[in-house]
Structure 1
Amino acid sequence: MSVNYYEPPVAQAAPNHENSSHSHQQNNQQNNQQHNQPPQSPPPRQTGGGYTPKPKASGRLRRIFGGMGAAVTTLRNTLANIIFIIILLLIIASFSGKASLPLPESFALRIAPTGILVDQRSYIDPASLLLSDENPQENETLVSDLVAAIHHAEKDTRVKLLVIEPGRMLAGGLSKLNEIGQALEQFKTSGKKVIAVSNYYSQDQYYLASFADEIYLHDMGVVEITGYGRYMNYYKSALDKLGVTIHAFRSGKYKDYLEPYLRDDMSAESREHNEQWINELWANYTGNIERLRRLPPGSINDYVNNLDVHMTLTSGDSAKLAVEKALVDKVGSRHELLSTLINAAGKSKEGDNYNGVDVNAYLADVNKKVHPDSNKVAVLVAAGAISDGRQPEGSVGSETMLELLRQVQDDNNIKALVIRIDSGGGSAFASEIIRSELVALREKNIPIYVSMGSVAASGGYWIATAADKIWAQPTTITGSIGVFGAFPTLEKSLEKIGVYTDGVGTTELAGSMRLDRPLSAKASKVVQQGVDNIYERFITLVADARKQDKEAIHNIAQGHVWTGNKAKEIGLVDELGTLNDAIKAIAEAADLSSYKVEFVQRPLSPKEEFLRSLTQSQAGALAPKSLLANWSSLGLLNDLGASVKPLLDLNAMNDPQGIYVKCLDCVAP
């Protein structure tokens, strides 16, 4: 910060020759002495041949502002020194305290996801990571990390068993849980045991635990299975009271993204297709648990629908009920369950826990080995809402995706590309920008497969049409091939407080899109025609990509949501399988006998790289700090967040034409 001093000029009469000579002489004298002597006070100014003293106020202001400037400079330098010392200490700590520790000769691999299962972590400002008391990265867990660790552990002779601790996992989503589950089932073919243990099992947590050979539960715990539901808040009456008019335009009778703003209840069409996909997912959930736990068909529905009766028979003892219904194998106190794990895996060096190694520490050790293959299969994740321009990780930006695709194009070692889509769509314009870039990349003889995660619908499916092949999981939510546009006007709200709008325009459409004016019939017709045009373009793209008749695509489109299993039946998907299945398939198609998988990511700036390196958790942390930890229930907060999410979504939309291919209902359980 700099402080500029301002001094009002003092009027001065034209000097005579004598005064002028005197002034020049004095200036030269001062210049000659400037480097040898401290600065002298300037001589009094002349006016009218006499000297006028400098105003005292100006001197006081100079001293005041000078003092302020000095104080600010001192404070700035002090803060800079403090920050420098902190960073220096962190660097020293990072080298001295975070050295990777060698893994034990034998151990249990600990699968303990935290937060939400994701295909791509959301962007977190490195400065926030540095200054946060907790690690924000624990709010999300990468599915690919868990799957990679489980696959490596299958053949690793050091890994004696696998322990699932799902207690800190907030949500998974059925497709992501199935992807981990498939890796767990493959792991069990090695003959090694899988144990799940927790104080309490939520619905998603229990589904992950069901892939274990044995499930342990605290003797005061519960298995909380309630079923899937799709309930939304509807705002029409509230918006009417506020005088807000929502102008909605859509193509596709099942495209129900805008219903919460236009109705007070669910339409028959929305109820029809929501019931279809949610019942299919629930059948997958219950069927897999009954298969894995060797339960009779219908056991899970009986447990849920008659829970009150069952609890009466066990006098309200939920843990006892879980054992009687064969949902868990063993209940006990924390000490008893820990002793069981110690007997199975051995005791840690510290002696207060079982001999377990976390996924991060295990992968850090595994990844030390240099992969000899130069051939690569690249994986590019497109997760989150699709928007125009550059967007951080956790969302899909058209310009960001283009930059990543050009990285792929510039790498001659990349022989094939898999796009992992986990998105319910967004901007139609941004979706098309990404799709056309993928088509251009395919024309350069780089094969492209799409692997659908939990959701690849609407704009997510638009992008998928550019692929050579589309892979999905049976529980993937996809389809929703429809288009909408919407915006509110507030003329009625303003009238309530006595504000009116009037004026003139050169055309009938001038000022027609203002928030404070009602939308004219002509403007409405223009917007609806634009929406219909994008819908026609969408179904044409799908028909060309799937080699089907456009009318046939229209019949299965109209915003209808499908599961991956059904999408394969109707020709929207080529194959069913996980991300790893898609990678193996494209490598075989590209005739790659050996290859390495590389996730394409945005390069970090030197500042981001440096700050992120300071916040990395210690790779040598071999065992959990506390066993069987559970996060407190966030159900109420999640419900409140879901209530206001549609309103926040409207504010975040940035399509240049205001036209979207987005799916509100595509929220996989």
Structure 2
Amino acid sequence: MNYYEPPSAPQAAPQPVAQAPQQPNNQYHQQATGNSGYTPRPKPSSRLRRIFGGMGAAVTTLRNTLANIIFLLILLLIIAAISGNTPEPLDDKFALRIEPTGILVDQRSYIDPASLLLSDENPQENETLVSDIVTAINNAEKDKRVTMLVLEPGRLLGGGISKLNEIGQALEQFKAAGKKIIAVSDNYSQDQYYLASFADEIYLHEMGLVEITGYGRYMNYYKSALDKLGVTIHAFRSGKYKDYLEPYLRDDMSDESREHNSQWINELWSNYTGNIERLRRLPPGSINDYVNNLDAHMALTEGDSAKLALEKSLVDKIGSRQEIMQALTQHAGKRKKGDDYKGVDINRYLADVRKQPFPTDDKVGVIVASGSIVDGNQPDGSIGSDSMVKLLRQVRDDKNIKALVIRIDSGGGSAFASEIIRSEIIALRDKNIPIYVSMGTVAASGGYWIATAADKIWAQPTTITGSIGVFGAFPTLEKSLEKIGVYTDGVGTTELAGTMRLDRPLSDKAGKVVQHSVDHIYERFIALVADARKQEKTAINEIAQGHVWTGNKAKEIGLVDELGTLKDVIHAIAQDAQLDSYKVEVVQRPLSPKEEFLRSLAQGQAGALLPKSLVNHFASLSILNDLSPVLKPLQDLKNMNDPQGIYVQCLDCVIP
């Protein structure tokens, strides 16, 4: 089964531009008559005329020169784009090279095409699409040209165990077809090693390390700092386990938060260790022994971490880069040029695979809902209520889409935006289009609110879901202002006038109003879950309260219907829709002609032809991107745009 990008929107043909008739270039074109009363001004001296004429000529020359430079740059970009999009044909036999970079995601964050074109580095390397890797592996399993698979996870930063398991399932099917997988890296982080464990053989540099430390959930708590700054956080919630606001209200983790976080994080760790021990044929408890007694184990190998990994059967071969490359060339063959093995990366491989025509027009649509749920139109990487509605209506208007899978990877967000999306999914179901939800790493709180609208909910065993609870919060700064001698006073016509100002304390009456709203939204949440899951409200309330569950546990208590990957969900809905043959289409916002043009240039690596100084100038304009970790709390505040300030929010999407 193949994922592919939907056809781009056709570019509109350029329209002729009407030009206004030129006026005579002579300020004295109006002729004086004896009775007009008009007296012509004397002509400027020939010297002044020469000066101004010279200045005009210089400006014209400069303008024409700049226009020619811009034209040449555009021409070079077009040539580069055309030449860059003509890949060489693939060899008859080769190894598929899987080299994920950055964070594993279900949807790439939006990057402005101009920034993508002018960037000195490729910003897309910060994220890797899980669907691209899975699609490449699934096709390679049946492709006779692909002799083996080389997994190079050294640049992978993480993405969550659920996404790693999704890739792992495809890798296991590849091995079941009788094809070999070798994993290679100088070092292995925790997530990198988990992915490598699906390989037949794991190679490690002779000075490398397998770094497994376990899962943890540790946060900063700000109450004392906020008290010193005079910031008052007004918090309202429904659900005793709804701990999203705890870092602002306490200096440590509450007992309730410790209870439910311990449950899901230990379950995920058990999945991690159990799968590695199964795949590497290790005795139960081996991974915990390796981590908990690492100091003693390292002492026995005199600090040689690579030797320890080999002795503990975590890897199969250690050696220098040259020795490991020699081993790879023995398995996959050697390139005609250089010492590298004969490998093809997934981008080049997918470009070749996707050239093949598909025999049917029937489609299963896939909409990816990834990121925080926010009101309005939002770029890729966030879930905007209006943006999502537009995608759902694209599905409604496409008569070839016979079924829809919504892939949710979100810890929630705005309650209002979640409801706008949920009601639109219900409206689409009323058009007799079956809709299944596939949960990714996280589909909790607002993510679960959206999921309730589907015909069926699928999760993975390690998905984080539930967190059915509601909160509202905002700060006031009256104490901070008092510290510097600023006070607020005035009059109002009612008791609530001016109560929601940052420079005034929140009144008890206003606080009760907000709490009533939070309680109402929570009751609405409970009711829609009970209706969707065909259970009593009291039963749902027992498992709600903001409690976080894994996919395994969620199936036991009736919050999800089935367990499986996105591929499993697509196969199931196609069967239920009685589709014998179908293609899978990711439903995306159509690019504007400008975006499409610039993105095609960037993909053709046309930016390499731009002067380095020009590229550096534009890159310097985005220096604030380096401050993104520091500014993240401000970004979170910016995204909190619910009309009533009420949220169904749980966790960040990238968790263990």
TM-score, normalised with respect to structure 1:
0.87
CA contact (8 A) 1:456 1:477 kept: yes
CA contact (8 A) 1:431 1:459 kept: yes
Structure 2 residue identity aligned to 1:364: A
Residue in structure 2 matched with residue 583 of structure 1 by the alignment: 570
Considering only CA atoms, is the larger Rg found in Structure 1 or Structure 2? 1
Per-residue deviation, residues 83-135 of structure 1 (Å, max 9, x unmatched):
33212101112223441210000000001001110000000000001101111
Residue in structure 2 matched with residue 231 of structure 1 by the alignment: 218
Q: Which one of 271, 277, 284 corresponds to residue 297 of structure 1?
A: 284
CA contact (8 A) 2:369 2:408 kept: yes
Residue in structure 1 matched with residue 338 of structure 2 by the alignment: 351
Inter-partner Cα distance in structure 1 for 2:547 and 2:174: 37
Residue in structure 1 matched with residue 181 of structure 2 by the alignment: 194
Structure 1 residue identity aligned to 2:83: S
In the alignment, structure 1 residue 420 sits paired with structure 2 residue 419: no
Which aligned pairs between 1:328-343 and structure 2 lie closer than 5 A?
A: 328-343=315-330
- Cα shift at 1:70: 8.4
Residue in structure 1 matched with residue 105 of structure 2 by the alignment: 118
Residue in structure 2 matched with residue 22 of structure 1 by the alignment: 34
CA contact (8 A) 2:458 2:564 kept: yes
Q: Which has the higher contact order (CA 8 A, sep 6+)?
A: 2
Inter-partner Cα distance in structure 2 for 1:477 and 1:70: 69
Structure 1 residue identity aligned to 2:504: R
Q: Please state whether the residue corresponding to 1:455 is helix, strand or coil.
A: strand
Structure 1 residue identity aligned to 2:292: N
In the alignment, structure 1 residue 310 sits paired with structure 2 residue 297: yes
Q: 1:406 to 1:76 in 2, by over 3 A?
A: farther
Q: 1:518 to 1:362 in 2, by over 3 A?
A: same
Which aligned pairs between 1:298-447 and structure 2 lie closer than 5 A?
A: 298-447=285-434
Structure 2 residue identity aligned to 1:394: G
- Cα shift at 1:203: 0.4
Q: 1:75 to 1:247 in 2, by over 3 A?
A: farther
Inter-partner Cα distance in structure 1 for 2:433 and 2:122: 38
Q: Please state whether the residue corresponding to 1:361 is helix, strand or coil.
A: helix
Residue in structure 1 matched with residue 598 of structure 2 by the alignment: 611
Inter-partner Cα distance in structure 2 for 1:552 and 1:74: 79
Q: Please state whether the residue corresponding to 2:641 is helix, strand or coil.
A: coil
Inter-partner Cα distance in structure 2 for 1:73 and 1:481: 67
Q: 1:550 to 1:77 in 2, by over 3 A?
A: farther
Residue in structure 2 matched with residue 486 of structure 1 by the alignment: 473
Q: 1:491 to 1:409 in 2, by over 3 A?
A: same
CA contact (8 A) 1:98 1:618 kept: no
Q: 1:158 to 1:71 in 2, by over 3 A?
A: same
- Cα shift at 1:189: 0.8
Q: 1:370 to 1:22 in 2, by over 3 A?
A: same
Per-residue deviation, residues 596-615 of structure 1 (Å, max 9, x unmatched):
11100000001111111111
Inter-partner Cα distance in structure 2 for 1:364 and 1:121: 18
Structure 2 residue identity aligned to 1:42: R
CA contact (8 A) 1:99 1:618 kept: no
Inter-partner Cα distance in structure 1 for 2:63 and 2:307: 64
Q: 1:360 to 1:667 in 2, by over 3 A?
A: closer
TM-score, normalised with respect to structure 2:
0.89
In the alignment, structure 1 residue 149 sits paired with structure 2 residue 148: no
Q: Which one of 462, 467, 470 corresponds to residue 449 of structure 2?
A: 462
Q: 1:307 to 1:23 in 2, by over 3 A?
A: farther
- Cα shift at 1:465: 0.2
- Cα shift at 1:646: 4.3
Bigger drift between 111-120 and 343-352 goes to 343-352
Inter-partner Cα distance in structure 1 for 2:514 and 2:236: 7
Structure 2 residue identity aligned to 1:528: Q
Per-residue deviation, residues 269-321 of structure 1 (Å, max 9, x unmatched):
11111000000000000000000000000000000011010000001000000
Residue in structure 1 matched with residue 171 of structure 2 by the alignment: 184
Q: 1:168 to 1:24 in 2, by over 3 A?
A: same
Inter-partner Cα distance in structure 1 for 2:571 and 2:654: 28
Residue in structure 2 matched with residue 529 of structure 1 by the alignment: 516
Residue in structure 1 matched with residue 498 of structure 2 by the alignment: 511
Residue in structure 2 matched with residue 42 of structure 1 by the alignment: 41
In the alignment, structure 1 residue 140 sits paired with structure 2 residue 127: yes
Q: Please state whether the residue corresponding to 2:212 is helix, strand or coil.
A: coil
Inter-partner Cα distance in structure 1 for 2:225 and 2:58: 54
Q: Please state whether the residue corresponding to 1:229 is helix, strand or coil.
A: coil
In the alignment, structure 1 residue 89 sits paired with structure 2 residue 88: no
Per-residue deviation, residues 595-654 of structure 1 (Å, max 9, x unmatched):
1111000000011111111111579xxxxxxxxxxxxxxxxxx9x977864454123211
Q: 1:665 to 1:553 in 2, by over 3 A?
A: farther
Inter-partner Cα distance in structure 2 for 1:107 and 1:201: 25
Per-residue deviation, residues 234-283 of structure 1 (Å, max 9, x unmatched):
11111111111110010001101101111111111111110000000000
Bigger drift between 68-77 and 383-392 goes to 68-77
CA contact (8 A) 2:496 2:510 kept: yes
Structure 2 residue identity aligned to 1:22: G
Inter-partner Cα distance in structure 2 for 1:104 and 1:616: 23
Structure 2 residue identity aligned to 1:553: I
Inter-partner Cα distance in structure 2 for 1:312 and 1:641: 40
Q: Please state whether the residue corresponding to 1:22 is helix, strand or coil.
A: coil
Inter-partner Cα distance in structure 1 for 2:347 and 2:209: 29
Residue in structure 2 matched with residue 8 of structure 1 by the alignment: none
Inter-partner Cα distance in structure 2 for 1:425 and 1:579: 20
Bigger drift between 344-353 and 328-337 goes to 344-353
Per-residue deviation, residues 447-488 of structure 1 (Å, max 9, x unmatched):
000000000000000000000000000000000100001000
Residue in structure 2 matched with residue 103 of structure 1 by the alignment: 90
Structure 2 residue identity aligned to 1:346: G
Inter-partner Cα distance in structure 1 for 2:254 and 2:57: 68
Q: 1:78 to 1:478 in 2, by over 3 A?
A: farther
CA contact (8 A) 1:477 1:668 kept: no
Q: 1:210 to 1:265 in 2, by over 3 A?
A: same
Q: 1:42 to 1:357 in 2, by over 3 A?
A: same
Inter-partner Cα distance in structure 1 for 2:595 and 2:295: 53
CA contact (8 A) 2:435 2:456 kept: yes
Structure 2 residue identity aligned to 1:543: A
- Cα shift at 1:374: 1.0
Q: Which one of 191, 208, 211 corresponds to residue 204 of structure 1?
A: 191
- Cα shift at 1:25: 8.0
Q: Which one of 577, 583, 592 corresponds to residue 596 of structure 1?
A: 583
Inter-partner Cα distance in structure 1 for 2:302 and 2:105: 39
Bigger drift between 79-88 and 113-122 goes to 79-88
CA contact (8 A) 1:108 1:161 kept: yes
In the alignment, structure 1 residue 172 sits paired with structure 2 residue 164: no
Residue in structure 1 matched with residue 149 of structure 2 by the alignment: 162
- Cα shift at 1:349: 2.6
CA contact (8 A) 1:233 1:643 kept: no
Structure 1 residue identity aligned to 2:190: Q
Q: 1:63 to 1:322 in 2, by over 3 A?
A: farther
Following TM superposition, the consecutive aligned residue runs of length 4 or more in structure 1 with deviations greater than 3 angstroms are 20-23, 62-81, 640-648, 664-667
For the aligned residue pairs, the C-alpha RMSD in angstroms reads 2.5
Structure 2 residue identity aligned to 1:287: G
- Cα shift at 1:81: 3.5
Q: 1:68 to 1:528 in 2, by over 3 A?
A: farther
Q: Which one of 105, 129, 132 corresponds to residue 116 of structure 2?
A: 129
Give the unaligned 5+ runs of structure 1.
1-19, 28-40, 45-53, 620-637
CA contact (8 A) 2:81 2:604 kept: no
Q: Please state whether the residue corresponding to 2:603 is helix, strand or coil.
A: coil
Inter-partner Cα distance in structure 2 for 1:79 and 1:422: 47
In the alignment, structure 1 residue 288 sits paired with structure 2 residue 275: yes
Give the unaligned 5+ runs of structure 2.
1-31, 607-624
Inter-partner Cα distance in structure 2 for 1:287 and 1:668: 19
Q: Please state whether the residue corresponding to 1:175 is helix, strand or coil.
A: helix
